Amino acid sequence: MLAKILADLVLLLHLAFILFVLFGVFIVFKKHKMAWVHVPVVIWGILISLFRWVCPLTPLENYFRMIAGEQGYEGGFIANYILPLVYPAGMTRELAISMGVFVLVWNGLLYFLLIYLIKKK
């Protein structure tokens, strides 16, 4: 029971991490010093996508799921939980690179806007 709860908590942490990668810049708009946390997180998210690394949270969740008697899964969080919602066919190398580039461009544009607004004040 505890292992299943821990697995679910890791899953929620994983989702929160991804949401922070994508939308954390909006926190930075309000609290500029959060950029010191957000930028490294974005870089990590981009590197995981571009090089198809496995996030350390994935094996941790799998470990807790196996202890709980559940089936673990192959690949990463995005491939197992997010991608099937958007692209049911699975993640290709090209798609992983596209996701990494999207995160880079998205955050780059928002940080550019943030810097522009700060300088304008």
Identify the pLDDT of residue 65.
84
- State how far the Cα of 67 lies from the Cα of 50, in Å rounded to an integer: 31
Tokens of 9: 């908590």
Domain count, the chain: 1
Domain limits at 108? 2-120
For residue 57, give Cα distances in angstroms to 20, 26, 75, 94, 97: 15, 24, 11, 23, 20
Quick one: pLDDT band at residue 84, thresholds 50, 70, 90? low
Spatial CA neighbour of 115 closest among 23, 4, 12, 25: 25
Percentage of the residues of the chain whose pLDDT score is greater than 90: 40
Identify the pLDDT of residue 32.
92
